[in-house]
Structure 1
Amino acid sequence: MCSLSHEQARALRSRAQGIGGGVRYGSAAEVVERVLAVQAQDVRAAALGIRARADGLTAADVRRALEEDRTIVRAWFLRGTLHTVPSADLPWLLGLLGPHFLRLGARRYRELGLDENLCDRAEAILVKALGDHGPATRAELTEHLARIGVAPRGQAPFHLIRRAALRGLVCHGPERDGEATFVLLTDWLPSRKDGPRGEAAETELARRYLRAHAPASPEDFASWSGLPMTAARRAWRALGAAGHLTFCHIADEASTLPTEHVPEMDLTPSAAPDVRLLPAYDDYLVGYCSRALSVPAAHERQVWPGGGQIRPAVVADGLARGTWTSRTSSTDTDVSLFAPDSEEAAALAKGIATESADVARFLGSPR
C-alpha cells in the first residue's frame, strides 16, 4: 500500500482536475469530458469553471458548445443539482441518478400537494408546451402549469420542471435575453446511446469520478454523487476486482488511486505555483467529503461562510490561498489573500495577474 503526503495528494488531485501542474484543455467539451460534471446552478460560475481548466476559451465558446455544437448539456444530475455534463454521457447518468433523486424527492412533492396524478398531468402539459412552442423559460412553463391548478408562486413549478428533467424528458436549452430556457430532450439531443445501466453505471460513475478526483475514497464519491454508501462500496469492489484500484494512505487516512495514476506520484513539482481563479461552487471545492486538503482549516469560513455559499477561491497547486470577486457588470477582479507573508504574496502575484487578465479576456473585455 502506497503512502502520500498532503502535498502529493493535492498535486495529484489538482492535475486530475485540470487546475494544477500546468494541465489545461483545448475546448469546453474536453474540460467537461475530463471532469464529467461542472456544477451549474450559476451559469456564469459554471462557464468560469470551464475557463479555469482550459486554454484560450471565451464565454462565447462555452455557449457555442452548449447551444450549437451541443457537445455538453445542462440538467439535474449529481446530488440532484444542476450540472453541465458531456451530452454523450447524459443517457446513462440520468438512467442511474434520475430514479434515485426522484425517490428522494417524493416527500417534497407530497409536502407541496403534488400527488402522482397531478405530477403526471403536469408532465404532459410541459411536454406539449415545449413540443408545440419550442424553448420556454421557467416563467412561461409556470403559466402553462397554472392552467391545471399548480400555484404559480412557491416551489411547485420548479419541482415539476425538475421532475420532468430527472425523468429524461426535458433539459436546458438556449439562453434567451440572458435567461435560461427548457427544451424537449428528444428535440435537443435526438441521437443518444444508452450506455451502462444498473451496477455497471455505478461502477462507470466511480471510475470517471476517480479519474478526475483521485486520490479519493468511497465516502468522497458518495458525497460528490449523492448516491448511498452501499452503491459507493459496491462500485469500489467492482473496480478493485478488475484491478483498476491502488489503495493508499494520505497521512493516516485511507484513500484510493486509479492504478494508471500511480506513476504520477513521482512527478516533480513546478518551480512557480500554478494559480487558478476558481468560481463559486467549483467542483474541486465540492468533490470531497472533507475540505482538509483543499482549504487551510484556519481560513475555511472565508471560502464556506455558511448558508450554502461557496465563494470563488484563489487556488495554487491545489491549495486555496484566498478568495476573489468579479462583479456581474464588470470584468475586474478583486483578490483577497489569506494573510500571506511578503514572500508568498510575491510568489502568487504573477499567477494571479495572469488569471485575472484571463478572466477579463474570457468574459469579453480584455484589458
Structure 2
Amino acid sequence: MTTNVSITWDAAGARRAERQFLARPAGTGTPLAEVAGAMLGVHAQVLSAAELSLGMRADGVTRADVRSALWDDRSLVKTYGPRGTVHLLPARELPLLSAALTAVPTGPSPFPPDVRLTEEQSAQVVTAIGEALDGRFLTLDELSEEVVARTGPWAGDRVMPAFQDLWPRWRQVMHRAGWAGTLCFGPNRGRKATYTRPASGDRTVSDGAGDALSVFVRRYLHAYGPATPAHFARWLAAPPGWATALFGELASAGRIEEARFEGTPAWVAAGDTDFPDGPARGVRLLPYFDAYVVAGQPRKRLFPGAAYQRALGGGQAGNYPVLLVDGVVAGVWHQRRRGRRTTVTVEPLVPLTARQERELGEQVERVGEVLEVTPELVVGEVAVGPHA
C-alpha cells in the first residue's frame, strides 16, 4: 500500500518527540507504564539511566517512583527486551511483547559448536528457569544450581566467554527466558540481583505470534516512524531480510503503508499520516541508551555535523548521554555524583541562545529532581569516554 504522503525530517522528529513525551512531559499522575509503553521499553542495563529516561518524560517523577512501580505495584517489569538487553517494560504488555520477541529469528550463534546449546537444550533451559523461579526470588548462583539440577551437568559447563570470565553454558539463553515470560528481575538481595517469574494477571494477550508481530511493528512505526525495514532490523538486532519480508507481508495486508521520507521510501502504520507542521523545539538531556536516540533513524539526520563523530561511540547510538536541541543531538554530557550532590558537565556542539541556556539549566535541575540530588551545571568539555 503506497500513499502520496511526503514527510520531512523536521516533521518526523517533531512527531517522535511528541509521542515519546519529549515535546511535553506526561502530566502528573500519568502511569509510568504508559510512558514506558510509548517508548516500546526503557533501556535499563544501568537502572539510573532508566530512571532518568522516565523521569525526564514525566512531571514530578523521581527515581523512588520508578522503583515503586518496579518493586511495589509491579506495573513495570525489569527483564530482557529488544536486542536481548535489559529493559523496563509495562507488565500488562508482557504477553504481547513475549509473543513478538520470541518470533524474531535470532541468527547464527556467535559461539563455537562445542559451546553452543542445541535448540532442544535451549528449550529445556527456558522451561527449567520458569519452573525454578515460580513463586521464588533466586540469585544467579541459586538459579544456576536449579537449572543444572533440572536439565543436566552440560548446562553448568563453564564454557561461555564473557567479561574475561567463563559463564555456565545455560546463560546463553537467559535473555530468551525473559522473552518467553519465564524470567524477570526481582529486588536486589543486598548487592546481588535476584530473579523471579513475572506475576500473572489481567493482561492483554495476543492472538498469536503473527498478530503480535503486526501489532509490534505498528507500535514501532507509531513511535519511531517513518522507518524502513533496515531501521527496524537494526533496532531489534534482527536479520534484515526477515524484516523486509515482514514489512512486505504487512503492507500486502494493509497494516502499514509506504510514504516518502526525505525523498526515499519508508513506512508508517496504515492511516497514521498526520505530522506536525514544524520541527521539534526545546532543549532536553537524555541518558545513556535512551530509546529516542537508539531507535532514531536516519543517524546522520539525528546526529548532524560534529555530533556524528562526537556523540556516537563507534557508530553506536547510546554510548554517550546526549544534549538534544530542537529534536537533534547537539552535544554530550556526563554527571559525577558525590553523595547528595552531582556535577553535570554539558558539552554543547552548537552555540546556544539565551533561551536555550535557560532551558538547559532547567533540564539540569530536573536531572537533580529525578535522581534526588542537588545538581551543579558546568558547561565545558566532557573528558570521559563512551559509556563511562
Q: TM-score, normalised by structure 2?
A: 0.79
Q: Secondary structure at the match of 1:292?
A: helix
Most deviating of 145-154 and 290-299 = 145-154
Does residue 24 of structure 2 align to residue 15 of structure 1? no
Distance between the aligned counterparts of 1:166 and 1:335, measured in 2? 37
Letter in 2 for 1:180: A
Give the 3 Å change call, closer, same or farther, for CA 316–260 of structure 1 in structure 2.
farther
Name the structure with the higher strand share.
Answer: 2
Partner of 1:165: 178
> Cα offset for 1:53?
1.5
Letter in 2 for 1:350: R
Give ranges in structure 1 of 5+ residues lacking alignment. Answer: none
Which 4+ stretches in 1 moved above 6 angstroms?
none
Give the 3 Å change call, closer, same or farther, for CA 196–248 of structure 1 in structure 2.
farther
Give the 3 Å change call, closer, same or farther, for CA 175–236 of structure 1 in structure 2.
farther
Paired residue total: 355
Give ranges in structure 2 of 5+ residues lacking alignment. Answer: 159-164, 376-388
Query: Of 287, 293, 301, which aligns to 1:293?
Result: 301
Q: CA-to-partner distance for each residue in 1:205-254, whole Å, 9 max, x for gaps? A: 1111111112322322222223444345534653575476462332x332
> Cα offset for 1:307?
8.5
Does residue 358 of structure 2 align to residue 347 of structure 1? no
Same amino acid, percent of matched pairs: 27
- Does structure 2 conserve the Cα–Cα contact (< 8 Å) formed by 1:34 and 1:212? yes
Q: Residues 214-225 of structure 1: matches in 2 within 5 Å?
A: 214-225=225-236
Distance between the aligned counterparts of 1:45 and 1:210, measured in 2? 24
Q: CA-to-partner distance for each residue in 1:83-113, whole Å, 9 max, x for gaps? A: 2221122112212212535x53656384535
Name the structure with the higher helix share.
Answer: 1
Q: CA-to-partner distance for each residue in 1:249-300, whole Å, 9 max, x for gaps? A: 32x332334466544332x568xx4221111111111114531221114222
Q: Secondary structure at the match of 1:54?
A: coil
Give the 3 Å change call, closer, same or farther, for CA 256–120 of structure 1 in structure 2.
closer
Most deviating of 118-127 and 87-96 = 118-127
Most deviating of 357-366 and 290-299 = 290-299
Partner of 1:213: 224
Q: Residues 1-367 of structure 1: matches in 2 within 5 Å?
A: 1-20=4-23, 22-25=24-27, 26-100=30-104, 103-104=106-107, 106=109, 108=111, 110-112=113-115, 114-115=117-118, 119=122, 122-123=125-126, 126-127=129-130, 129-131=132-134, 134-142=136-144, 144=146, 149=153, 150-151=156-157, 153-155=165-167, 156=169, 158-177=171-190, 179-185=192-198, 188-228=199-239, 229-235=241-247, 237-238=249-250, 241-242=253-254, 245=257, 247-250=259-262, 252-258=263-269, 261-266=272-277, 273-306=281-314, 310-329=319-338, 330-338=341-349, 340-341=350-351, 344-366=352-374
Q: Secondary structure at the match of 1:215?
A: coil
Q: CA-to-partner distance for each residue in 1:136-178, whole Å, 9 max, x for gaps? A: 2324434556776424652335324334323331111223345
